Chain A
Amino acid sequence: MAALSTLKAQTRSIDIATCRDDFPVFSREVHGKPLAYLDSAASSQMPEPVMRAYTDYHSRYHANVHRGVHLLSQEATEAMEAARESMRELINARSGKEIIFTSGTTDAINLVMQTYGRSQIGEGDEIIISTMEHHSNIVPWRMLCDEKKAVLKVIPISDDGVIDMEAYESMLSDRTRLVGIVHVSNTLGTINPVKEITRLAHSRDIPVLIDGAQAVSHMKVDVQDIDCDFFATSGHKMFGPTGIGILYGKEEMLSKMPPYRGGGDMIISVSFDEVLFNDLPYKFEAGTPNISGAIGMGKAAEYIQAIGYDAIRHKEQELLKYATEKLSAIDGLRIIGTAPEKSSVVSFVMDGIHPHDIGTILDLEGVAVRTGHHCTQPLMDRLGVVATTRASMAMYTRKEEIDQLTAALQKAVEIFK
């Protein structure tokens, strides 16, 4: 089919050194300054090939999927299934049946909560998460625990932001029904030992869900190697569109789980008395999906593969080292999150300057960062800070942007001295 062949034909090796040219946003200015975009952990920028895949769908073969017999619908279906295959390949799932399109990581986690959680977790059962979870991997479980009178247990972390594995091991019990853990902390950058965490849970037959929103743009994720039962991620954190994500689930888990939402596309037959549900992955995809979003995310997965994770990891670790050194040299600045294994995220606080004032001063100097609690309020409480400023880098980040950040921070120090 035309759509699939076009998508695959465009995949080629891309040099990380020049990939920045593929991102149109970097040509713009902010408050009269060149844009230094250090907020990729909140949302990564989108390269032109992803935009093109997105607009191609709308300009050439916009139609509904899995329904029509006409050519446009067939092409749309083909392109969406090609995107599923690209995502399967990116995280090395066994089959496309294990890749469910969702609206994002939050939706994917809620899917597991509503289906696996509500059917398998009852009064007195335990769910284990960690102190460094994003609200999206806390709130659904808190809601479930309140509904079912289950117990939410929280793995402690060290001051530098490392999970206490001994404490974790001792928390696993006969009542544990799920371990939910963030792969890479959005606030601290800590890379958690998800393979070991999974191994320990599996030794007691406890399933593991991994919040991978911050992982996929930075490092090779192999769900078969990790052996996790669920893995959730978002398109817009991996150079794709917003409003799209995936839930990976092991086929044996997904096939046992009840459906998530009811509606069209997730059924084989419907009468007023009885509904026969569709096979995987469609059982979990009710209604017309975010077709253009899925196609865009698939293209983003191909884009990442064309650059290659070795090149990405190498460049980002260099950026992390550079940023850590530069920022540490600023008077009164303290880095929050100093785990030995980190992705390219530097969170910090400064003596006498609130993160929101830092954020405004940086913005006026063209530097985009995130300030606040980063949707990790319990982690902020644990670390004894109200908010931090977070500079997060990606494969397209330049050292000059970190220099721009450093100069702007010096200005903040001057103003507030």
Chain B
Amino acid sequence: MNDKMSQLYQQVLLDHNKTPRNYRELENADQESLGYNPLCGDKYKVFVNIDEQDIVTDVTFIGDGCAISKASASMMTNIAKGKHVDEIDSLYHQFHDMVRGKLDPDTDPNDLGHLKIFAGVRDLPARVKCAVLSWHTLNAAIKGKEKVSTE
């Protein structure tokens, strides 16, 4: 298989696409936001509960899109749960920089962990917005924005 292809469509990503984690509505969520990519039609809703210490106690999502966007959303909910909103904000910026090729997860200091598998997106400019859609949406939900669009 083509190197770029195997680097991008790793087993982890395919698994999260097939069986996304935290894939459900969060009833009575503190905040929620709808993320929409009008170019592809990808649409995700992210729900968050935030406690008084600004810790994200729960985060879930629903919606549909390509494997990259869905796996990204799934892994994001896993990593964001239990973190302070400032930590999430930092991850959001690191993730953003990684998929845009401004941060190399192998050489630059970062807290991305498993999210490194999305690094391959930097070679596919058309797919960057797929990877970041759920992160934009989570960021908007935390900040209390109801809608976000990648365009």
A contact residues vs B (CB 8 Å cutoff): 31, 352-357, 359-361, 363-365, 371-373, 377, 380, 386-387, 411, 415-416
| B67 lies within 8 A of A364 (CB) | no
| A411 lies within 8 A of B40 (CB) | no
| A361 lies within 8 A of B130 (CB) | no
When distances are taken between beta carbons in the complex, the residues of chain B under 8 Å from A359 are 126
- Whether B101 sits at the interface, judged by CB under 8 Å, is no
Q: Mark B24-44, 1 if CB is under 8 A from A, else 0.
A: 000000000000000111100
Nearest Cβ distance between residue B129 and chain A, in whole angstroms?
A: 10
Most buried by A among B1, B9, B14, B66: B66
Q: How far, in angstroms, from A372 to B1 measured CA to CA in the complex? A: 25
Tell me the residues in window 38-77 of chain B with beta carbons closer than 8 Å to chain A beta carbons: 39-42, 64-68
Q: Which residue of B4, B42, B130 is within 8 Å of A31 (Cβ)?
A: B4
| B41 lies within 8 A of A372 (CB) | yes
Q: Which residue of B1, B42, B130 is within 8 Å of A411 (Cβ)?
A: B1
Q: What are 10 A-B contacts defined by CB distance under 8 Å?
A: A353-B67, A356-B42, A356-B127, A357-B9, A359-B126, A361-B5, A364-B5, A415-B9, A415-B14, A416-B67
Given A356-B40, A361-B5, A372-B39, A416-B64 contact (CB < 8 Å):
no
| A354 lies within 8 A of B67 (CB) | yes
Inter-chain pairs besides A356-B66, A357-B66, A387-B40, 11 sampled, C-beta below 8 Å: A31-B2, A352-B18, A355-B66, A356-B65, A357-B9, A360-B124, A361-B5, A364-B4, A386-B64, A411-B5, A416-B67
> What is the total number of residues of chain B having a CB less than 8 Å from a CB of chain A?
21
When distances are taken between beta carbons in the complex, the residues of chain B under 8 Å from A411 are 1, 5
Q: How far, in angstroms, from A416 to B8 measured CA to CA in the complex? A: 12
Name the residue on B nearest A33 (C-beta): B2
Q: Which 10 A-B pairs have the closest CB atoms?
A: A354-B66, A356-B66, A386-B41, A357-B67, A364-B2, A364-B5, A357-B66, A415-B9, A387-B41, A356-B40
Most buried by B among A360, A373, A386: A360
Name the residue on B nearest A380 (C-beta): B41
When distances are taken between beta carbons in the complex, the residues of chain A under 8 Å from B5 are 361, 364, 411, 415
Q: How far, in angstroms, from A194 to B52 measured CA to CA in the complex? A: 65
Nearest Cβ distance between residue A416 and chain B, in whole angstroms?
A: 7
Tell me the residues in window 3-24 of chain B with beta carbons closer than 8 Å to chain A beta carbons: 4-5, 8-9, 14, 18
Q: How far, in angstroms, from A364 to B40 measured CA to CA in the complex? A: 19
Nearest Cβ distance between residue A272 and chain B, in whole angstroms?
A: 43
Q: How far, in angstroms, from A359 to B124 measured CA to CA in the complex? A: 11
Nearest Cβ distance between residue B124 and chain A, in whole angstroms?
A: 6
Q: How far, in angstroms, from A101 to B48 measured CA to CA in the complex? A: 54
Tell me the residues in window 113-131 of chain B with beta carbons closer than 8 Å to chain A beta carbons: 124, 126-127, 130
Given A354-B65, A354-B66, A416-B14 contact (CB < 8 Å):
yes
Name the residue on A nearest B2 (C-beta): A364
Nearest Cβ distance between residue B119 and chain A, in whole angstroms?
A: 15
Name the residue on A nearest B9 (C-beta): A415
| A360 lies within 8 A of B40 (CB) | no
Q: Which residue of A355, A356, A357, A365 is within 8 Å of B2 (Cβ)?
A: A365
Nearest Cβ distance between residue B23 and chain A, in whole angstroms?
A: 16
Name the residue on A nearest B67 (C-beta): A357
Nearest Cβ distance between residue A295 and chain B, in whole angstroms?
A: 33
When distances are taken between beta carbons in the complex, the residues of chain B under 8 Å from A365 are 2
When distances are taken between beta carbons in the complex, the residues of chain A under 8 Å from B2 are 31, 364-365
Nearest Cβ distance between residue A153 and chain B, in whole angstroms?
A: 26
| A360 lies within 8 A of B1 (CB) | no
Q: How far, in angstroms, from A386 to B64 measured CA to CA in the complex? A: 9
When distances are taken between beta carbons in the complex, the residues of chain B under 8 Å from A373 are 41
Q: How far, in angstroms, from A26 to B43 measured CA to CA in the complex? A: 36
Q: How far, in angstroms, from A340 to B67 measured CA to CA in the complex? A: 34
Q: How far, in angstroms, from A353 to B68 measured CA to CA in the complex? A: 11
When distances are taken between beta carbons in the complex, the residues of chain A under 8 Å from B130 are 356
When distances are taken between beta carbons in the complex, the residues of chain B under 8 Å from A380 are 41
Q: How far, in angstroms, from A372 to B41 measured CA to CA in the complex? A: 7
Q: How far, in angstroms, from A377 to B9 measured CA to CA in the complex? A: 28
